[in-house]
C-alpha cells in the first residue's frame, strides 16, 4: 500500500527524493563533517516530496 502512495508524486510530475532513514542521516552526518551541510540541505529543499522508507523491515 505504501509503495502505491509513493508513486503518486512521481505520476504528478513532481521531483521526488526517495531514501531510507539511515541513509539520509548518514548523508547529513557526512555533510556536516566535511562542511557541506548547508549545500546538502538546499539540495533536499529543491525537491517537491521527500519519501523516507524503512528498508529491510
Domain-wise residue ranges, the chain: 2-53
pLDDT for the residue numbered 7: 80
- Render pLDDT for 1-54 as a digit per residue (tens, 0 to 9): 456 677 888 888 889 998 988 999 999 999 999 999 999 999 999 999 988 887
d(CA 7, CA 33): 33
**Residue 49 carries which DSSP code?**
E
Closest CA to 27 of 10, 44, 15: 44
Looking at the DSSP bridge assignments, the partners of residue 52 are: 19
pTM over 0.75: no
pLDDT for the residue numbered 1: 41
d(CA 50, CA 24): 11
Amino acid at each position: 500500500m505504501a509503495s502505491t502512495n509513493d508513486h503518486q508524486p512521481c505520476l504528478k510530475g513532481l521531483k521526488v527524493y526517495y531514501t531510507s532513514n539511515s541513509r539520509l542521516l548518514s548523508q547529513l552526518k557526512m555533510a556536516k563533517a566535511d562542511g557541506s551541510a548547508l549545500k546538502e540541505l538546499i539540495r533536499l529543499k529543491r525537491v517537491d516530496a521527500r519519501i523516507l522508507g524503512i528498508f529491510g523491515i
